[in-house]
Amino acid sequence: MEFIKKTHHFIDSHFPKQHLLLAGTLITALTLAIVLTSDDAAHGQRIQVTNDSLADSGLPGLSAAEQDGILVSAQELAGAELNGEATIPESDPHWTELEVSSGDTLSTLFNQVGLTAGDVHRLLNNSDEPEILHRLHPGYQLAFYMPEPGHLEQLKVRTSPLDGYSFTLQDARYEVEPIVREAERVETLRSGEITDSLFMAAQRADIPAQVVMEMSDIFGGVIDFIMDPRHGDEFSILYEEIRLNGEFVRTGEIVGASFTNRGREHIALRYETEEGDVGFFTPDGESMNKAFLRNPLDVFRISSNFNPNRRHPIHNTIRAHRGTDYAAPTGTPVRATADGQVTWAQRNGSFGHLVVIQHPGGFETKYAHLNAYASGIRKGSRVRQGQVIGYVGATGGATGPHLHYEFLVNGVHRDPRTVLDELPQAITLDKQEMNRFRAHTRDALARFRDPVDQQRLLSYNADQSTTSTTN
What whole-number distance in Å separates Cα of residue 390 and Cα of residue 395? Answer: 13
Question: What is the enclosing helix (H) or strand (E) of 350?
Answer: none
Q: Give the Cβ contact number of residue 163 at 10 Å.
A: 13
238 has pLDDT over 90: yes
- How far is the CA of 92 from the CAs of 66, 143, 145, 392, 451, in angstroms? 22, 12, 9, 56, 53
In the prediction, which pLDDT does 301 show?
76
Rg (CA), the chain: 33
CB half-sphere exposure, 136, CA atoms < 13 A: 21
Identify the DSSP state of 115: -
Question: For the residues 27-43, what does the mean pLDDT come to?
Answer: 46
CATH class, domain 95-180, is alpha beta
142-146, 428-432, 459-463: the lowest-pLDDT one: 459-463
Over 70: is that where the pLDDT of 292 sits? yes
Higher-pLDDT residue of 146 and 246 is: 146
* Residue type (1 letter), 29: A
- Quick one: average pLDDT of 319-344? 89
Homologous superfamily, domain 301-422 = Glucose Permease (Domain IIA) (2.70.70.10)
What is the tens place of the pLDDT at every residue in 260-275? 988 889 999 999 988 8
What is the percentage of the chain residues whose pLDDT exceeds 70? 70
pLDDT above 50 for 65: no
| pLDDT of 136 | 87
What's the residue count for the chain?
Answer: 471
pLDDT of residue 255: 95
Q: Please answer whether residues 65 and 51 qualify as being in contact, where contact means their C-beta atoms are separated by less than 8 angstroms.
A: no
User: What is the pLDDT, as a whole number, of residue 341?
Assistant: 96
Q: What is the pLDDT of residue 368?
A: 96
For position 10, what pLDDT does the model report? 47
Residue 190 corresponds to which amino acid? R
- pLDDT higher at 415 or 59: 415
pLDDT confidence band for 90 (50 / 70 / 90): very low
Q: What counts of helices (H) and strands (E) characterise the chain? A: 10, 20
Distance between CA atoms of residues 418 and 323, nearest Å: 11
* pLDDT of the residue at 323: 87
238 by DSSP, 3-state: which? strand
The top-level CATH class assigned to 183-289+427-471 is: alpha beta
In the predicted model, what is the mean pLDDT of residues 64-76?
Answer: 41
| Mean pLDDT, rounded, for 416-428 | 77
